[in-house]
Each structure stands twice: as structure tokens, then as C-alpha cells.
Amino acid sequence: MRHHRASLGLHPLAPVHDQHAQDGQQDLFWSRVRTTLREPFAEFWGVIIMILFGNGSVAQVLLSTGQAQGAPGGNGFGIWALGVMLGIYVAGDSGAYLNPAITFSNCLYRQLPWRRFPTYFIAQLLGGMVGSLIVYANYISAIDHYEGGHGIRTVPPATQATAGIFATYPQPFVTKASQFFSEFIASTILMFVIFALKDEANMGLAKSAHFFPLMLFFLIFGIGACFGWETGYAINFVRDFSPRLISYGLGYGKEVWSAGGYYFWVSKKSPSGIPMVAPWLGCMFGGFLYDVFIYTGKSPINSPYMGLSHLFHPRQEIRRKIEAEKELHMV
Amino acid sequence: MRHHRASLGLHPLAPVHDQHAQDGQQDLFWSRVRTTLREPFAEFWGVIIMILFGNGSVAQVLLSTGQAQGAPGGNGFGIWALGVMLGIYVAGDSGAYLNPAITFSNCLYRQLPWRRFPTYFIAQLLGGMVGSLIVYANYISAIDHYEGGHGIRTVPPATQATAGIFATYPQPFVTKASQFFSEFIASTILMFVIFALKDEANMGLAKSAHFFPLMLFFLIFGIGACFGWETGYAINFVRDFSPRLISYGLGYGKEVWSAGGYYFWVSKKSPSGIPMVAPWLGCMFGGFLYDVFIYTGKSPINSPYMGLSHLFHPRQEIRRKIEAEKELHMV
Amino acid sequence: MRHHRASLGLHPLAPVHDQHAQDGQQDLFWSRVRTTLREPFAEFWGVIIMILFGNGSVAQVLLSTGQAQGAPGGNGFGIWALGVMLGIYVAGDSGAYLNPAITFSNCLYRQLPWRRFPTYFIAQLLGGMVGSLIVYANYISAIDHYEGGHGIRTVPPATQATAGIFATYPQPFVTKASQFFSEFIASTILMFVIFALKDEANMGLAKSAHFFPLMLFFLIFGIGACFGWETGYAINFVRDFSPRLISYGLGYGKEVWSAGGYYFWVSKKSPSGIPMVAPWLGCMFGGFLYDVFIYTGKSPINSPYMGLSHLFHPRQEIRRKIEAEKELHMV
Amino acid sequence: MRHHRASLGLHPLAPVHDQHAQDGQQDLFWSRVRTTLREPFAEFWGVIIMILFGNGSVAQVLLSTGQAQGAPGGNGFGIWALGVMLGIYVAGDSGAYLNPAITFSNCLYRQLPWRRFPTYFIAQLLGGMVGSLIVYANYISAIDHYEGGHGIRTVPPATQATAGIFATYPQPFVTKASQFFSEFIASTILMFVIFALKDEANMGLAKSAHFFPLMLFFLIFGIGACFGWETGYAINFVRDFSPRLISYGLGYGKEVWSAGGYYFWVSKKSPSGIPMVAPWLGCMFGGFLYDVFIYTGKSPINSPYMGLSHLFHPRQEIRRKIEAEKELHMV
């Protein structure tokens, strides 16, 4: 099992509660599978929960537009935040990143081994797909009703478009540069505040890990309320790409990639690719700002030449890192 | 007293605070009754509080429709969630299930003895009835005013129908299959996330039992906001059946059972029975998913053949269980 | 100082933080006054904060009716709840009752000495007056603007009435019996849930005193959202009477007492007096229900004949009580 | 480094987590800069976060006015509160004042050395400027679209004015006296409740520093909902002045200073200067009230002649203070 976990880039020892680990159930085949895939399962289900609430609430608000009694459940923006919060509780054992750009920043600034990134990323991507499929399955007859016929599926700016349930589409009059800036700054804030919330050395006011999920609720809600209107605030590759892919597969047509002047895709006509690129850069920049101005712990920023010396001696650096990790029994 | 409690399927020793138990009041007749019925009383009052807030808020929003100043209190969806949260605080001593499908899943996956189920179930059913009766008593004159005359009581889709205060009625254009799926998936999420919140081995982020009621608030609110529109999200047999029965008794007519194409009832014409069946199946499935993919503790899923071997040796299994419970002084 | 405190019915020793008590500042005249009046000051300021937020939010919503941009701050119902929560934080040293009916129930069921009641009550009454005066001072020019002229002050159902900023006025079509029931049941729920939240023996889920103020927020919000529309939910004598008296003094006319068919006052024509009477009875009943069905600690309900035997030997009972309190140094 | 910190009025020893302080990174130039400027950086970034959410939400709500789908994110009032809460988490190491009037009151009543005030003030001012610049950069194309052309920038009461994104502008019909009173009372409540929340000797209900940021959310939200409509509730000099200055620099014209009858500025025509003056006086008064009526700890109010004796022997007092601070190694 250690071998399988190591080959997935995971820590050889799975994070299993001591008492449970001694119950002898590890002899069962499936228990071993679950222990081996502990962190990917956690990310997978955490993202599913996030997408179920996020896409589900957009679906409900959109599909009930114009009804006399409206849909139960407010305007749906806070529900993305709620989904993230509950997803964090579900994905407790993996770090609960739920966003590959945040995993990425943790590799870059917080010593999360890079070799874990691919496994986490794939788990997150699959979670986004499964979550949006369930939402589609749930609302299929209501989508038929709203779009005006069985199997009709359209993309904004079509008047009865329902593709917005799955992925983000920008406001038409906002320039590409503003769209990019909006995604970038939203992702920057996201990473900056998460690092602040996770920084136990940022004292002054006692922090409590118990409050982290609740504060993420407020943070995501606030980002949506302040920087969410221009682009629909993806700020997360798997939140946008996975449901977009699913919506493509479900028959919404090629417009899911090209709508909004190739908002998503990097095309020759208009090389934007905003929700695909901006979250990574924003999260990197947000982590950079926090570490430059506030963080006092271990970080490349707090090492000579801000860690960039590693770029000139990559092999040496990698060897050094692996040795350090071996000492910590991380390999 | 031990005998009476055992005959109700309860643990012989009631969960009474040590200091209180030594105060000598147990000589009083009523104190002994209260101690004997500790858990059923807790569930009974917890469900009453839940229904008071849930049905009460729907009543207030509906009955004030079209008024210039509207009703104080938002749109009433979050209030179901609020009622569940406060009900959990009230029903602390029984486990605060407030939902027979959740009690059921705890019997199935978390070693809650099956013999407790009937007592809990009856207490929950009665709580749902008493709660909805109080709401009716409170709004009787406003219902008369809204329905357009003393004693007029109608069921959706009648224009001034007030039966929706009590039980759930589906959107007319949603297919039966979609209605069932909506209830099923909502119940699945409910159970899945509750098991995540209760799983102390799901570490990563420190969990706190103090946050459980607050998180249930967000969970129920979120489920309503994402999967509540198509059917009104019963996700709880006693939340739907008990008030529906009361509304039948109060003169809303047989339509409370047949409305929405026999949405509630299992009839020959259209065997749906959605809010009667789907919550149980959904909660079972949600618990199953959590235990398969994440839970590492004691569960049938974590035993050989996922515990199904018991099906082939039921007697032997029951004997074994009772002996184990005797050792733990649970009988 | 002990003497002065005892003559006010307070515990001879004021609840002052140990470290502070040794700072020697108790030689100053005002410090001694503050220590002597510790609990009344706490209740006084707690009620002021509650009324500032409660009446202030109603004022803001009402006075901005019909404006293009509306008033910042939602619909104002939740703000009463918010005011209660912050008032509890302010009034930490007195028990933070903020409501004489709750003080009353604590005397009745929780051994709070009766002799404290008058001092608390007066402090609460004065707090309600000062709080509503500040709100009036803040909105005087906006009230002039809304009512249509300097010094015009009217009471519902006048179309531009602003008396509703201060006290509650019922829906016109609701019968007196329903109004009474609404206030009664809302107060019952209030007391029942507060006793549940304060009952440390109601285990099951770990309770935390840290969550008490937040849960009161949800509780008051929920009561407003479920049982607040018919009468405006006073559920608190000083929340209704004190601002009503102030509004009378400010020139709203005798209608503040007689509006809504003598809703407030006990007149010969229509003896209702609903917000004056129902909160006391409701809180008494809510405490009674909690103690009968759930509470296992010391309470008259948990003594022979439910404590009613005291009614037949009052002198003997009072002597016994005072002796017990002397032993606990409470006199 | 100690010298540099002392010359900025800061405590010679920066608040750095013990473990981090021993990591040897203090040899790096930038790490030393960051440690030297620890508190100003904290206030700077805390205010940026507050302004990003606050101004950002107003921008989003305003700029999406009249759109069919509206802007994601409610009405924007609660988001100021959310920004304050997250800013507090970011600025943990400086005390998280985020408001110079609160820093001022802490100098006056809570022994924060006066010499820290200028550094904190400048950091807060700059944070307000940077934050509002980022919001402008994010919404520049949407502002062009809303104002009706590239580079058009107008101030209320112009119909398509967007200056309200940055600073506060009062309701036109409210008198100057009422505007002043509204700002004053809002700031009084702010300081009074903050001192209550921070007063560990205000017992009764257990307080938890963990809840402080969440309660500030409710407090700021409540103040906006109750006393925010007449003036837009600045209650914070840097929240109003810094973005106003930025909006002036961005071409909104002199009206940003003169609008609303010289609401902001102290001019000869109409010497109001409300958001510039009222927050300081209000916070001073709120702190005064709390210390007079409730606070039992060290405060000028709890010293002879309420600390005013110092006014008559200023030199002697300053010498005494510095000596005391030297003993505590604060200089």
C-alpha cells in the first residue's frame, strides 16, 4: 500500500485515525483501496459537494426565473460559498484545496511536494465532472421546460440559454483586459486571505481552525459580491472547465468554448483563455504578496533571492528537497 | 425504570447529568417519567421546534403575499434550516436526528440499536403533528382571511391554496422521475454531509461539535437553495407526512394525498409516493457513499462482504449483536 | 457598598474581575457607584443597544420606502436579532436578560432571587426609553420629511405613520384572540429555546456558551420570521412599552395606546393589553414546558407538587429560602 | 532593527512567532524590512482588504443597476462588514484597528502609546488609497459603460454618477445636524460595542476572541442597517477620505469635496466636514461611555478626576508614562 501511495505522489502513510487503523479492517480489499486513495477521494468528494451546491443553486435560480413564487433559496451567489464550506468539511483529510490553483500555490509557497499535484488535480477535475452531471440529471426536465423543448440546449447570449448553469460567461460589454483583471484580482484576494487565515503566526487575534470553513464561506461570498459580476468569477479551473466540458458533452455545442469572444479558450482570433489562466496567476500573485508583506514562516520568499536561486541549480535543488523529505518520511 | 426504558428499546441508563442524577428528585413520579422517556421527549420537542419554525415561516410568507409591507422575515427557506439548528440544540440528549431516515441510517451504519427505531419514530411523528397544529392555531384567522372565508381550505394548484403551509407540493411541469431524483439526491447529500460532519476521524481541519448545529443550518439552507424548488424538498418523512395528516384532519380534503398526480401517495393510477419513499432511499445511499469512499471507522461497509453476509445468517447475527450490546450494558 | 447593593436586591459582592478588583481604583467615588450598580448598568446598556439596532433598522427601512436606491440594510427584521446578540455581549455581567419576562422566568424556575427583579426591571425600562430617544433624535429630520411636515406625527393605519418605528401595531384583520396567541406562542418558544441553550445537562451535542449570543440571533430572527407578522412580535415588555411611552411623550398622540382596537392597553371597551400581558404568560409557559419535559436540574417543577406546596406555607418557604441564600452569601 | 522600529513609534520587539524568529531568515534584507514594518504592513493590508470588499460591492451593485439578471451578491451593505471581518484576520499582528478613530480611542483609553498613532494612521491612509485604486482598475470599463462614455466621471446627484463607489454622499433632504448626529451616534455605537467585545472582564457569558471578527461583521452590518442610510455611514476617516482623494485624482472633479453642501469639507460656506470629524468624536464618546458605565480595568476614567489631572501637569505625566513604558520594555 505504501508503494501504491508513493507512486501516486502521496505520503506513504495515509492520514487515518489511530483507533480506526487498529481495527483490523485493513485486511479487506476495499478498505485498502480507500486508504490508498484517501486524499484523492477527499478532494473528489469535496469538489462534488462544492459543485452540487454551486451549479445546483444557479440552476434553481435560473430555471425558476419569472415564476410567481420564485425558487426557494435566495439568489444563489452565497450558495457557491456554502458549497465550498461544506466541501472543506468533507475533504478534511486532503487539505481541502478543492481548487488546483490553491494546490499549486501550496506547492510553491508551503512545501507541499510537487509530486502530489497531479493526483490532486485529476481528483478535482473528476469531481467537477461528476458534480455537474448530477446537477444536470436533477434538472433535466426543468431545463427542457425552460429552454422550450426536449433536447434544446443553448449558450448565452441566447435568451433562454441554460449553459450558464455549468460554466461562467462574461458580461458582453466588459473588455477582455477587464475580464482578465477581474479574474486575476479575485484569485489574488482568494489566495491572500486563505494564507492569512491559515497563518498561525498571524496572531494578535487568536485564530481557530474551527472557524476556517465558516470564514471561507464569507470569503467566497464576498468575492462573488465584489468581483463576481463581470466574469461570473471562476477563480477555480475545475469549477469552470469540468462543468464546461460536461455541458459540451451534453450537447450545448461548440459555443461553450467560443462564447463571449472566446472567453474561455485560447484561440488565434482572440487569445484570452481567461478562466483557464487567470486563477493560476492570481493565486500565485496572492500567495506572493502575503509572503512578501506578512508571512514570517518558511517560504521561498523568505529564502535568499526569494528562492529563485533554485532556478539556476534545479537538479541540486531537487536532490536536496527529496533528501529533506526522506528525512521527514514523506517519500 | 430500567425495565420500562428497555421495553421502549432505550438504553437502560438514561443520559442524565451526573450532578442532577444525585439530587434525589428521582423519587418524584413525574421525574421518573421524564427520565424514562428522555430520548423520545427530546426528539418530540426537537421536531416540534423544527416544524414551528419551518411551517411557521412558510405560513407567514404565503399569508402576507401581496401586502404593501410584506411579512417580517425574508423568504422563509432559510428558516427551515434555522428550525433544524435550534431543534438540534433542544434534542441534545437523543442524538437529535429529527428525521426517521437519519435515525434509520444510523441504525444501519453507525450501530444505533434497531430496537430504538420505533420509539424514536413515533416521537418524531407526534412532534410533527403537534408542531403543525400549533402553527395552524396561530394562523387560523389569517388563513381564513387569505383563503377568502371562514373554513375554506384549499390545496395547490388552487390560487389561494394554503395547504402548502403544511406539506410539500411539486412543481406541475416536473416529471415524476425528476421529482423522485430531486428528493433522492437531496436526501443523499443530507446524509453524506452529516456523516462527514460527525466523522471525528475526518481530520485535516479540526472539527468541533460546537459547530455541528450551525453547519446543519447551512446544509439545510443549501439543499433548499439547490434542490428544493422542484418538489419543496421534504427530505424527511415526518416533516411531510405528519403536517399533511394534520392538514387532512383540519379539512383540506382528500387532495392533500392526491395533489400533484398522487405525488405523495402510492396509488394505482400513479405509484409515486415520492416524499414517503425517496428520503429513506436517499439517506441510505448517502450513508453508503460516505462509508465506501471516506469512512474508516466501524461500519458494515468496512466488514467482510459489506456486512451483507449477515443477511444469510440473520439469527446468528442478531444473537451476536445482542451479546455485544449486553457487554456494553446497552440492554 | 455591600449594603447599597443588598438594598437594591443585588448580590453583596459585585461581579468584578479579580485582577481589576485589586487595582485600588475602588477608592474613587464613581468606581464605587459603577461597582454598586454593575448589573443594572449592564441591563440598561444592553437594552439600549438592542433598541438602537431594533428601532433604528425599522426606522431606516420605513423612512426610505419608495426611494430609488432603498435603504442600506435589508428588511430590518434580522436586525432586531442582531441587536439582541450584541446587547448580550454588552450586558455580560448581569445575566443579559434584556427582557423582564425572561428575568421573571429565571426567578420562577432558576433560583434567581425575586428581590433582584425590581432593580433589573427598572434598568431595562429606562434602557428602552433612552434607546428609543436616541433613535428618534437620529431620524427626526427624516421623520419630518416622511410624515410630510415638521412636527407631524401619526400612528398606523395612517398612510405615512411613523409610530411603528417605536412600538408594535397589529395587522388589522387578525382577531384579538389570534394576536394574543401569536404573542403567547412566540414568547413560549423564546423561553423554551433559551432554557434549552442554557441547560448544560442537555448534552448529546457539546454546547458552548460562546455560541449562546449567536444562537439568540438565530432564535430571535426565526421567531420574527415565523410568528412576527401578525403582531410585530413584541415578546418583550420593555421593547414595546418603553418606546411606546417615549413616542407618546414625543407627540404621537393618545392613539399609541388605543390603536389597533386598544391592542396595547387594557380598556373597558376591549380588554386586550396583548404586548403587555402575553410575553409574561408565554415565557412562564415556555419555561414550564421545558422543565416538565426536559430539564433535570433544580426547579420547582422537579420538587414535590411542582413547588406549589409553597403556596400554602408562604412564610415558612420564604424563611427557608432566605436562610439558604444566606448560606450561599447571596444576601 | 529595534532602533528603526522605535523611531516609527513601534514596540522595539516585533510580534513574530517564536519558532519563525529562530529560523535564521532575519539575516535577509527583506525579512528585516518586513519585521520592522510588521504592524504598519498589517494595517495597510487589512485596510486594503476592507476597501476591496466594501468599495467593490458598492461598485458591483451600482454598475449592474437595471440589468435583467442583476449583479451577483446581494445589496452590498453586508459586504462592508464582511470586508472588515476578513481585514481583521489579515491584520492580526497590529491590533487590527483598520480605523484611525479606533486607534485614537485605544491610545486614549487603553494605554496604546500615542507615538504609534502616526505610523498606524499613515499605513491606514495608504491602504485606503491602494484598495480603492484596485477597485477602480477592476471596474474601469464597466464605469465607462455605466457613465455613458470613456472618461466621463460624475458625482451625485448626477443620474449616472459613480463617485458613490468610492466615498459617502448624504441623502439630500437630511439636515446637516442630522447628518452629523447620524455619523456621531454610529461611531459611538461602534466604539462602545468593540470595547464590550474586547473587555475580558465583562463576564457572565464566556467570551471568545475567536468570535471577535464574526461579531464585528454583525456589528458593522447592523450599524449600516440602522444608521447607514442618511449619510452612507463613513464611521472611519480612511474609509471615506482615502477613496475620495483617489476619486478626485481619477478625474471626478472638485465636486467630490463640495457635493452634498460641502458634506465632507470644512468650507466657509458650510462648515460641516462630517465624515472627517464625526467618527473621531463618536469613537471618543463611545469609549468614554463604556469606561464610565461598565469598564473596571485600567483607564483614565478609572483614575482620579477621570485622568484630566494630567492636563494640568502634562510634562510630569508624559515623563511618568515613558518611565512606565520603559519598565515594560515598550520603548
- The answer as to whether C25 is a domain residue is no
Helical segments of chain A, H only: 2-7, 18-21, 29-36, 38-63, 77-90, 100-109, 117-147, 176-198, 212-227, 237-247, 255-262, 274-293, 314-327
Q: Cell digits for D224?
A: 449600516
Which residues lie closer than 8 Å to A140 by C-beta, 6 or more apart? B178
Where residue B291 falls among pLDDT bands split at 50, 70, 90? very high
User: What pLDDT shows up at residue C269?
Assistant: 62
D212 to chain C, any CB pair closer than 8 A? The answer is no
User: What pLDDT shows up at residue B241?
Assistant: 94
Which residues lie closer than 8 Å to A39 by C-beta, 6 or more apart? A10, A14, A15, A93, A94, A95, A116, A119, A120, A123
Q: Do A210 and B215 touch (CB under 8 A)?
A: no
Residues B243 and B166 sit within 8 Å (Cβ to Cβ): yes
User: What pLDDT shows up at residue D205?
Assistant: 54
Q: In this predicted model, what pLDDT tens digit does every residue of C109-153 receive, in sequence order? A: 999 999 999 999 999 999 999 999 999 999 999 999 999 999 899
Q: If you average pLDDT over residues A51-58, what whole number do you get?
A: 93
Query: What does C265-317 look like in DSSP terms, one character per residue?
Result: SB-SS-B--HHHHHHHHHHHHHHHHHHHHT--SS-GGGSGGGGGGGGGSHHHH
Of B267 and C264, the one with more pLDDT: C264
Q: Of B31-45, B106-120, B266-280, C102-116, which gets the smallest average pLDDT?
A: B266-280
Q: What is the CATH number of the domain that holds D293?
A: 1.20.1080.10
Per-residue DSSP letter, C83? H
Is 80 exceeded by the pLDDT of residue B122? yes
Q: If you average pLDDT over residues A129-157, what whole number do you get?
A: 93
Sign of CA dihedral B117, B119, B120, B121: positive
Q: What average pLDDT does the structure give for chain B?
A: 86
B192 to chain A, any CB pair closer than 8 A? The answer is yes
What residues in B contact A44, CB-CB < 8 Å? 293
Residue among A218, A229, A294 whose CB faces D41 most closely: A294
Q: Do B72 and C204 touch (CB under 8 A)?
A: no
Three-state SS letters, B309-326: HHHHCHHHHHHHHHHHHH
Q: Do B72 and C224 touch (CB under 8 A)?
A: yes
What residues in C contact B23, CB-CB < 8 Å? 297-298, 302
Is 90 exceeded by the pLDDT of residue D53? yes
- The answer as to whether B147 is a domain residue is yes
What residues in C contact D207, CB-CB < 8 Å? 89, 92, 210
Q: Of A79-83, A209-213, A241-245, C112-116, which gets the smallest average pLDDT?
A: A209-213
User: What pLDDT shows up at residue C73?
Assistant: 42
Query: What does C6-29 look like in DSSP terms, one character per residue?
Result: HHTT--SS----HHHHTSSGGGSH
Given the C-alpha cell 474561455, which residue does it identify? Answer: A264
Nearest chain A alpha carbon to B199: A90
Between CA A181 and CA A129 the distance in angstroms is 27
From the candidates B30, B89, B145, B165, which should be mutated to test the interface with C, based on the most C CB atoms within 10 A?
Answer: B89
Q: Do D189 and C138 touch (CB under 8 A)?
A: no
Of D47 and D232, the one with more pLDDT: D47
What percent of chain A is modeled with pLDDT above 70? 88
Helices (H) and strands (E) in chain D, counts: 14, 0
Is 90 exceeded by the pLDDT of residue B161? yes
Is 80 exceeded by the pLDDT of residue A265? no
Is 90 exceeded by the pLDDT of residue C21? no
Per-residue DSSP letter, A163? G
Per-residue DSSP letter, D17? -
Between CA A99 and CA A124 the distance in angstroms is 7
Q: If you average pLDDT over residues D241-269, what whole number do you get?
A: 86
Rounded to the nearest 5 degrees, what angle is found at the Cα of A211, between the Cα atoms of A207 and A217? 130
- The answer as to whether D320 is a domain residue is no
Of D155 and C208, the one with more pLDDT: D155
Q: Point out which residues pair with B271 in neighbouring strands.
A: B266
Q: If you average pLDDT over residues B77-90, what whole number do you get?
A: 88
What residues in A contact D88, CB-CB < 8 Å? 205
From the candidates A19, A47, A52, A166, which should be mutated to test the interface with B, based on the most B CB atoms within 10 A?
Answer: A52
Between CA B154 and CA B251 the distance in angstroms is 9
Select from D198, D187, D199 the least CA-distant residue to D239: D187
Select from B284, B189, B289, B273 the least CA-distant residue to B231: B273
Three-state SS letters, B80-141: HHHHHHHHHHHCHHHCCCCCHHHHHHHHHHCCCCHHHHHHHHHHHHHHHHHHHHHHHHHHHH
What residues in B contact C77, CB-CB < 8 Å? 72-74
Is 90 exceeded by the pLDDT of residue D101? yes
Q: Cα A114 vs. chain centroid, distance in angstroms?
A: 17
Select from C38, C45, C31 the least CA-distant residue to C5: C38
B160 to chain A, any CB pair closer than 8 A? The answer is no
What percent of chain A is modeled with pLDDT above 90? 49
Q: Which of residues 239-268 of A touch B (CB under 8 A)?
A: none
Residues B38 and B95 sit within 8 Å (Cβ to Cβ): no
Q: If you average pLDDT over residues C166-192, what whole number do you get?
A: 91
Between CA C23 and CA D303 the distance in angstroms is 10
Of A232 and D119, the one with more pLDDT: D119
Select from C122, C112, C124 the least CA-distant residue to C87: C124
D47 to chain A, any CB pair closer than 8 A? The answer is no
User: What pLDDT shows up at residue C288?
Assistant: 95
Q: Do A222 and D82 touch (CB under 8 A)?
A: yes
Q: Do C89 and D196 touch (CB under 8 A)?
A: yes
Is 50 exceeded by the pLDDT of residue B74? no
The terminus-to-terminus CA distance of chain C in angstroms comes to 13
The count of C-alpha atoms lying within 13 angstroms of the C-alpha of A188, restricted to the half-sphere facing its C-beta, is: 20
Between CA B234 and CA A268 the distance in angstroms is 51
Distance from CA of C279 to the nearest CA of D (A): 24
Is 60 exceeded by the pLDDT of residue D32? yes
User: What pLDDT shows up at residue D73?
Assistant: 42
The 10 Å Cβ neighbour count of residue B155 is 23
SS3 at position D266: strand
Q: Which of residues 276-315 of B touch A (CB under 8 A)?
A: 292-294, 296-298, 301-304, 306
Q: Do D302 and C28 touch (CB under 8 A)?
A: yes
A317 to chain B, any CB pair closer than 8 A? The answer is no
Per-residue DSSP letter, D69? S
Which residues lie closer than 8 Å to D112 by C-beta, 6 or more apart? D95, D103, D106
Amino acid letter, A20: H
Q: How far is CA B88 from CA B46, C193, C273, D57, in A?
A: 6, 11, 34, 35
Of D31 and A23, the one with more pLDDT: D31
Where residue B72 falls among pLDDT bands split at 50, 70, 90? very low
- The answer as to whether B330 is a domain residue is no
Q: Do D222 and C82 touch (CB under 8 A)?
A: yes
Between CA D217 and CA B216 the distance in angstroms is 21
Where residue B243 falls among pLDDT bands split at 50, 70, 90? very high
- The answer as to whether C294 is a domain residue is yes
Q: Do A77 and D74 touch (CB under 8 A)?
A: yes
User: What pLDDT shows up at residue B250?
Assistant: 95
- The answer as to whether B30 is a domain residue is no
Residues A199 and A294 sit within 8 Å (Cβ to Cβ): yes
Q: Cell digits for A101?
A: 490553483
Cα-flanking dihedrals φ and ψ of residue A72, to 5°?
-65, 125
Is 50 exceeded by the pLDDT of residue A276? yes
SS3 at position B54: helix
Return the top range by mean pLDDT from B181-195, C172-186, D13-27. B181-195
The 10 Å Cβ neighbour count of residue C258 is 16
User: What pLDDT shows up at residue B73?
Assistant: 42
- The answer as to whether C220 is a domain residue is yes
Q: Which of residues 69-128 of A touch B (CB under 8 A)?
A: 70-74, 76, 79, 82-83, 85-86, 88-96
Taking the model in full, what pTM does it have?
Answer: 0.90
Per-residue DSSP letter, D250? I
Q: If you average pLDDT over residues A238-251, what whole number do you get?
A: 95
Number of domains composing chain A: 1
Given the C-alpha cell 462630517, which residue does it identify? Answer: D274
Sign of CA dihedral C145, C148, C149, C155: negative
Q: Which of residues 10-29 of D touch C (CB under 8 A)?
A: none
Residues C51 and C135 sit within 8 Å (Cβ to Cβ): yes
Residues B231 and B275 sit within 8 Å (Cβ to Cβ): yes
Q: Do A222 and D53 touch (CB under 8 A)?
A: yes
Q: At what angle do helices D237-247 and D100-109 cross, to 10 degrees?
A: 150
What residues in A contact D140, CB-CB < 8 Å? 178
Q: Do chains A and D touch (3 or more CB pairs under 8 A)?
A: yes
Is 90 exceeded by the pLDDT of residue A68? no
Q: Do A224 and D73 touch (CB under 8 A)?
A: yes
What residues in C contact B76, CB-CB < 8 Å? 225
- Calculated CA dihedral for residues D237, C75, A171, A104, nearest 10 degrees: 70
Of B4 and C135, the one with more pLDDT: C135
Is 50 exceeded by the pLDDT of residue A237? yes
Q: Of B280-284, C18-22, C42-46, C254-258, which gets the smallest average pLDDT?
A: C18-22
- State the burial class of residue D319 (Cβ atoms within 10 Å of its Cβ: 0-12, 13-18, 19+): exposed
User: What pLDDT shows up at residue B26?
Assistant: 62
SS3 at position C122: helix
Q: Do C25 and D175 touch (CB under 8 A)?
A: no
What residues in B contact A95, CB-CB < 8 Å? 204
Q: If you average pLDDT over residues C53-77, what whole number do you get?
A: 72
Given the C-alpha cell 433582584, which residue does it identify? Answer: C116
Is 50 exceeded by the pLDDT of residue C72? no
Cα-flanking dihedrals φ and ψ of residue C240, to 5°?
-100, -50
Q: Cell digits for D122?
A: 499613515
Select from B141, C16, C111, C194 the least CA-distant residue to D201: C16
Of D214 and B312, the one with more pLDDT: D214
User: What pLDDT shows up at residue B191?
Assistant: 96
Give residue C281's domain range. Answer: 3-7+39-298
Q: Of B290-294, B318-322, C297-301, which gets the smallest average pLDDT?
A: B318-322
Is 60 exceeded by the pLDDT of residue C294? yes
User: What pLDDT shows up at residue B19?
Assistant: 67
What percent of chain D is modeled with pLDDT above 70? 88
Of A45 and A322, the one with more pLDDT: A45
- The answer as to whether B25 is a domain residue is no
The 10 Å Cβ neighbour count of residue D297 is 19
Residues A178 and A278 sit within 8 Å (Cβ to Cβ): no
D4 to chain C, any CB pair closer than 8 A? The answer is no
Where residue C228 falls among pLDDT bands split at 50, 70, 90? confident
Q: Cell digits for B322?
A: 445482542
Is 90 exceeded by the pLDDT of residue B312? no
What residues in C contact B28, CB-CB < 8 Å? 302-304
Q: Do C228 and B60 touch (CB under 8 A)?
A: yes
From the candidates C1, C13, C30, C69, which should be mutated to test the interface with D, based on the most D CB atoms within 10 A?
Answer: C69
Helices (H) and strands (E) in chain C, counts: 13, 0
Of D190 and D16, the one with more pLDDT: D190
